[in-house]
Amino acid sequence: MADYETPVLEQEQSISLLDVMMRRLKRRFDLSSRAIDALNDLSFKIRNFAPNQYILREGEMATQCSYVAAGFVYRHKVLGNGARQIVAIHMTGDFIDLQHIMLDRADHNIQSLTTATLVQFPAQQLLRLCYEFDDIGRALWLETLIEAAIFREWVANVGRRDARARTAHLLCELATRREAAGLGPRGNYELPMSQEQIGDALGLTSVHVNRTLKLLESEGLIARTKRAVVVADWEGLRRAGDFDAHYLHLRDMPD
């Protein structure tokens, strides 16, 4: 209800936000200067969200595509049995709903995890830019393809790994994506999720997440302080989580 209407800041506020996006789009293929200009000319809105606000609800019409300029965001489904499954966790630098460039109805919910700042583009106009500039279309399509690769890995993670490996794998993925996004070293980062949310991402209960985190801690693989999870032994955590970053399709990502 009320929390869904959030202050909308008009543009001009921060060109730097778009610069960060440009860097992301160029992570694989370069963008022509004309394409960069076109993206800069694109109209957009900046929206700020407090933690745990709904950004989009399943079933709603979606005419915007959003980019995370700051904060964490997650996407989830609520099933008929009342359970919730988080299907994606996004951090600064991620697009969170590029599918709306083609699909006009949301098939899941999007919520802020922390306070978050989104840059929102009209889907129609973004699509038009994809037609006009090959390199923009390629960069955005690539984003959605890599996201799909992550979904596949999540299917495998939730389907076939036990709680310990599953948890370790998630921590490794987020650490690796964080590093790849230039947000800091993967060895040390704060995971801004409650244990219940971690459970909803992993298909576990919060009680079992608690026990599993304590197990990983007792093994010396992670260290914890309140909400923060710190990778204490990357190689050990990687092995525990059966983590291999190749599915993230990052360039220049050794070990």
Q: Which is nearer to its own copies, 106 or 222 (CB)?
A: 106
Q: Which is nearer to its own copies, 8 or 156 (CB)?
A: 156
- How far, in Å, CA of 142 to CA of 249, rounded? 10
Counting contacts by CB under 8 A, is residue 208 touching its own copies? Answer: no
Beta strands in the chain (DSSP E): 8-10, 45-49, 54-56, 64-70, 73-78, 84-90, 109-112, 116-122, 188-189, 222-225, 228-231
- When binding is defined by CB under 7 A, the residue of 26, 45, 57, 208 that contacts DNA is 208
* Contact by Cβ (8 Å): 86, 76: yes
Q: How many CB atoms lie within 10 A of CB 191?
A: 22
The most distant pair of C-alpha atoms in the chain lies apart, rounded to whole Å, by: 55
Q: Which is nearer to its own copies, 117 or 197 (CB)?
A: 197
Counting contacts by CB under 7 A, is residue 138 touching DNA? Answer: no
Backbone angle region of 252, left / alpha / beta, with phi > 0 → left and psi within -120 to 50 → alpha: left
Which residues form the interface with its own copies (CB under 8 A)? 59, 75, 77, 79-81, 83-85, 87-88, 98-99, 101-103, 105, 107-108, 127, 130-131, 134, 137-138, 141-142, 144-149, 151-156, 158-161, 165, 202-203, 242, 246-247, 249
Which residues form the interface with DNA (CB under 7 A)? 162-164, 194-196, 199, 203-208, 210-211, 213-214, 224, 226-227
